[in-house]
Every structure is written in structure tokens, then in C-alpha cells.
Amino acid sequence: MNGRVRAGDPLPPLRVPAISRTTLALYAGASGDYNPVHVDADAAREVGFEDVFAHGMLSMAYLGRLLTGWAPQRRVRSYGVRFTAMTPPHAEPVCTGTVSAVQDGAAHLDIAVTLADGTVTLRGTAVIALADE
């Protein structure tokens, strides 16, 4: 967040390296979410998925990095997303955001995560105070 913030301002995009199966295992351990559909292809197939898929919360963590890279975390008032598509292994997410409005001392952001083929996997909003309170 540099200088005056205006509606329409884009945030610098955050490009994430391809999500490997190792990344999924690391995130399972770090998050404590051991749901096997994210790390065990056999378990994923057993319940009808073709393969493992990334935790939605991993993408939400990447998108959180977009926010805290733009403004100090103490200014983040709210942050919410809808998960709109699954993220397969080897996907390369790109996190983007735009200021949709500035009101009551806060920037309102429209944010999203998009894969290389154009699939939008997360879409949401965040409210970030323009100054420390």
C-alpha cells in the first residue's frame, strides 16, 4: 500500500510456483488438515475424485499473502472467499486483487485466485484499514 489508495487500484499480483504433491504433504502437516483426499490418491479415488487436489485453505493462505504483502496484517479487518473450483496438483495459482471502494478509512478489495488455464478457484473480498488503529 503506497501513497493514496483509490478505487480501481490493482494490487501487485502474487504468482505461486506449481503446487507439487510435496507442497500438499507439507501443508497437511502444517495445517493439521490430514483429510486423505489431499495427499493420498487411493483415498481420493475411493470417494470418486480422479486424483488428490489441493486444500482450499492453501489457496486462501496464498491469497492472504497477497493481502499482508500489500498492507500490515494488523490492518486486515475481514477476509472471506468462496471456493469455486478445485485446484489439481501442478497448478500454478496467481493471486490478484483490486480496490473496489475506499470508505470509512478502509480499502475494500475484490480478490481472486486464477490458474494458468483461466479457472478461477477462489473469489472473495477483504477490508483493510488504511492506517493502523
Q: Which residues bind another protein (CB under 8 A)?
A: 16-17, 23, 26-27, 29-37, 43, 46-48, 56-58, 60-62, 64-65, 67-69, 72-74, 76-83, 86
| Nearer CB in complex with another protein: 66/99 | 66
- Give strand pairing partners of 57: none
Instruction: Give helix 21-31 / helix 56-70 axis angle, nearest 10°.
Output: 80
Of 64, 67, 115, 63, nearest to 89 by C-alpha is 115
Q: What are phi and psi of 38, to 5 degrees?
A: -95, -15
Supply the minimum distance, in Å, between the C-beta of residue 36 and another protein.
Answer: 7
Specify the residue, 6 or 30, whose C-beta has the smaller distance to another protein: 30
> What are the DSSP E strand ranges found in the chain?
14-15, 76-83, 94-103, 106-114, 120-129
Minimum gap (Å) between residue 21 Cβ and another protein = 13
Least Å from the CB of residue 86 to another protein? 8
- Closest contact distance (angstroms) between CB of 121 and another protein is 11
| 101 vs 127 by CB, closer to another protein | 127
State which residue, 6 or 131, has the beta carbon closest to another protein. Answer: 131
Burial grade of 25 (CB within 10 A; 0-12, 13-18, 19 or more) = middle
